[in-house]
Amino acid sequence: MTRRETAVLAALMTAVAAVFLLSLAMGSTSIPLGRVVKALLHPSEDGDPLAMVITSIRLPRSVTAMLAGAALGIAGLQMQTLFRNPLADPFALGISSGASLGVALVVLGSGYGPAGAFGTSLGMRGDALITAAAIVGAALVLGLVLIVSSHIANPATVLILGLMFGYAVTAIVTVLVGASQPERLQQWAQWGFGSFSGVTWQRLQLFGPLILAGVLIASSTTKQLNALLLGENYARSMGLAVRRVRFLTMLGASILGAMVTAFCGPITFLGIAVPHVCRGLLGSSDHRVLVPAVVLLGAAVALIAQIVSLMPGGGVVLPLNAVTSLMGAPVVVAVLLRSRRGAFAG
Amino acid sequence: MMATTAPGVGMPFDAALRTRDLAVGYRMRRTRRAVLEHVNLAVDSGELVCLLGPNGIGKSTLLRTIARMQPALWGSVELGGADLRSVSHAELARRLGVVLTERVAVEALTVRQVVGLGRYTYSGWFGGLTDRDRAAVDWAIDAVGARHLVERDFSRLSDGERQRVMIARALAQEPVLLVLDEPTAFLDVPSRVELMGLLRQLTRERPLAVVVSTHDLELALRTADVIWLVMPGGELVTGAPEDVVLSGGIGQAFEGRQIRFHPEERSFRLLTGSGGDAAVHGSGLRAALAAAVLEREGYTVVTASAAAPTVSVHADEAGWRLWTDQGECSGADFASLADYLRGRSMQS
């Protein structure tokens, strides 16, 4: 690692730690950092309402934000490298549209819809049902895309295929939205805003390990991703089993994207932006340093977005999606204009 | 060039590449369309082979099939004694290095990192390089003379430098065969000559066979050990460049209405008209250049002793002198000679 790479990674690590503490301290009521640290170190001391707020509300929320940010960053990086396209993101294959369809079927049709009835019969309610619906929807679309794409040689065609699937599925969702009652639309819109608050400790027991597994898989393919930087033809000539790696990468990145969407709603922008900023900061396209960097920066950005969305005080919560985009777009533009060294800037 | 020991010296393979009744082409839904058939070729270690042929004749298809980037329709390809169909991706990469026409668009990777990617099949789980890998990378960088570029950003290199680095990357795979598909396509003339010189030198320094397709016919005829010429009908003419020239195949393959191949000079000439015969007197560079002017203006240059040429030209330090049946004239430089000849052809 060069000195610059070491410095960037160290700075990112510090930033994540700082923002993590800050995210626990800030919220509807500010809690002094000292008490935050105390509550973290001695979580068993009950009776303190502030400690309760930290450990049972803010801590799972912040952990969720970090996991989601890391997952989206790494999945975005995988997709951008695989498709050699700067606009690719974790949802490039229509994953989030699939999840939306699942959620729309449940939310807009619950009570009498077949999906809602099926879920209710399993004893699933509310958030759990929405999550399950999102996972099923995403899995169906991903399965279709993977099956069709296994017959396609050109990666750009696969990307277009995913886009088309996304459009088609979104159209179905639009039809559902158009036909539904206004009071149900509120809940639907709420899901579309995105939120890290819905993931409790209990749900983290599923979300956490899944995301960690995805991140570990992605970390173990850095060598393959590096070979893909020269394009699929060269990668193959250097000994890469291109079809297999493409399949695994698409699967891994899509699962990460789908899990985040299922548990937190469709979080846009982060997955595109974080890899670009990391390339700019590091001045390198080497995935051995890029992967840890996107994990750290993704976590930090998600935490910051979480803090900002709660900032205005007085109970108003900004939609998370609005925050990530408004906050991130100028940063990305600045980084790209200044450095001109992203992997695709030429 | 540093004195370096090539890794893998003394490999037990005799023929680096051998094809047996190979047919290359494309599979449609139900049919197979062969571009080239009954291809029986062999390349030995230490040989530089240039693959020539008109556009769209199937050169790239043949190279892609040899490199297993597309399947053979029939027949087989053997690489270092092993059938291509039976080797794994990794094993193939250790026997065969490939350089393609396509421009690599990657930013923010150093030359050393790009060459290091050639160690893909050798390096560890995360792509970490051992001392042995680093030695191979260093050797490859020295072999193409890119030592001064190692810390540079690959995307900031000139086209010629990039191709050198891509060759170094292929060499880092320690292959027995290097296949290059029109590697000189984007290069300027000096870079083309340098690149072909480099390939020739590589075959001399280590047990490596090189197969390169090119449109640069004259350069290929001067540099290659062996020519594979794909004829318009799809048959292959192979042999030493001079034997292929003697066979007349090059003329058949490339001559058109306006161009003729001159075997003596191993180069093409534009047919610009028939101004008649021209005799050139004098010797050395000036006489040769005077002949070039005459040819460009549509005259057939004949020996000075030939009977009754249309024009006769003498060129020396003082300039040129031209005489015909009608009279005589002279000038100082070749521009004035060309002007005069153009004026003459306008009158007639």
pLDDT at A46: 62
pLDDT at A55: 84
Pairwise CA distance, residues A311 & A324, whole Å: 14
Please say if the pLDDT value at position B220 is more than 90.
yes
pLDDT at A188: 85
pLDDT band at B138 (very low <50, low <70, confident <90, very high): very high
Decide: helix, strand or coil at residue A46: coil
3-state helix, strand, coil in chain A (%, to 5): 75, 0, 25
Show the tokens assigned to B145. 């003379």
Name the nearest CA neighbour of A106 among A132, A81, A82, A68.
A132
Under a CB-based contact definition with an 8 Å cutoff, are residues A308 and A323 in contact?
Answer: yes
pLDDT at A118: 54
| Residue B69 contacts A where some CB pair is shorter than 8 Å | yes
Find the CB nearest A286 among B96, B102, B109. B109
Q: Distance of CA A197 to CAs A21, A56, A65, Å?
A: 17, 11, 9
Kindly give the parts of chain A with pLDDT less than 70.
43-47, 110-126, 312-315, 335-336, 338-346
Pairwise CA distance, residues B169 & B191, whole Å: 18
| Residue A8 contacts B where some CB pair is shorter than 8 Å | no
Under a CB-based contact definition with an 8 Å cutoff, are residues B247 and B239 in contact?
Answer: yes
Question: Tens digits of per-residue pLDDT, B116-130?
Answer: 999 998 887 777 788
Question: Tens digits of per-residue pLDDT, B246-285?
Answer: 998 888 888 887 888 888 888 888 777 777 888 998 878 9
- Search chain A and give the residue with CA nearest B155: A346
Residue found under tokens 């005069």: B340
Probe site for chain A from B64, B104, B117, B152 (most A CB atoms < 10 A): B117
Please tell me the distance in Å from B107's CA to the nearest CA on chain A: 4
pTM of the predicted protein model: 0.84
pLDDT at A124: 53
Name the nearest CA neighbour of A253 among A296, A294, A206, A201.
A294
Question: Quick one: DSSP state of residue A58?
Answer: I
Pairwise CA distance, residues B323 & B300, whole Å: 16
Residues of chain B positioned with their CB less than 8 A from the CB of A239: 89-90, 92-94, 120-121, 173
Partner-chain contact A238 B117, CB within 8 Å? yes
Please tell me the distance in Å from B170's CA to the nearest CA on chain A: 8
pLDDT at A117: 53
pLDDT at B2: 40
Cβ–Cβ pairs < 8 A, chains A and B: 85
The fraction of chain B above a pLDDT of 90, given in percent, is 51
Under a CB-based contact definition with an 8 Å cutoff, are residues B29 and A151 in contact?
Answer: no
Under a CB-based contact definition with an 8 Å cutoff, are residues A95 and A161 in contact?
Answer: no
Please tell me the distance in Å from A233's CA to the nearest CA on chain B: 8
pLDDT at B262: 83
Averaged pLDDT, B324-330: 87
Partner-chain contact B100 A227, CB within 8 Å? no
Find the CB nearest B89 among A226, A241, A342. A241
Probe site for chain A from B125, B126, B163 (most A CB atoms < 10 A): B126
Partner-chain contact A233 B102, CB within 8 Å? yes
Under a CB-based contact definition with an 8 Å cutoff, are residues B95 and B175 in contact?
Answer: yes
Provide the terminal-to-terminal Cα distance of chain B, rounded to the nearest Å.
59
Please tell me the distance in Å from A143's CA to the nearest CA on chain B: 25
Partner-chain contact A229 B126, CB within 8 Å? no
Averaged pLDDT, B101-107: 82
Please tell me the distance in Å from B101's CA to the nearest CA on chain A: 11
Under a CB-based contact definition with an 8 Å cutoff, are residues B19 and B78 in contact?
Answer: yes
Probe site for chain A from B107, B151, B152, B173 (most A CB atoms < 10 A): B107
Q: Which residue has the higher pLDDT, B231 or A150?
A: B231
Under a CB-based contact definition with an 8 Å cutoff, are residues B211 and B177 in contact?
Answer: yes
Residues of chain B positioned with their CB less than 8 A from the CB of A231: 102, 104
- Counts of helices then strands in chain B (DSSP H, E): 11, 18
The fraction of chain B above a pLDDT of 70, given in percent, is 95
DSSP string, B9-74: TT-S-SEEEEEEEEEEEEE-SS-EEEEEEEE--EEETT-EEEEE--TTSSHHHHHHHHTTSS--SE
DSSP string, A253-294: HHHHHHHHHHHH----SHHHHHHHHHHHHHT---HHHHHHHH
Q: Which residue has the higher pLDDT, A60 or B2?
A: A60
Residues of chain A positioned with their CB less than 8 A from the CB of B98: 233-234, 237
Averaged pLDDT, B319-333: 89
pLDDT band at B32 (very low <50, low <70, confident <90, very high): confident
B82-112 as b/e: b if 16+ CB within 10 A: eebeebebeebbbbbbbbbeeebebbbbbbb
Residue found under tokens 């030209």: B313
| Helix axes A242-264 and A95-109, enclosed angle (nearest 10) | 30
Phi-psi region of A209 (alpha: psi -120 to 50; beta: other; left: phi over 0): alpha
pLDDT at B327: 86
Residue found under tokens 């000075």: B304
Q: Is the ipTM of this complex over 0.85?
A: no
pLDDT at A88: 85
Pairwise CA distance, residues B249 & B101, whole Å: 26
**β-pair type (B74-79, B319-323):** unpaired
Pairwise CA distance, residues B207 & B180, whole Å: 17
Partner-chain contact B120 A343, CB within 8 Å? no
| Residue B130 contacts A where some CB pair is shorter than 8 Å | no
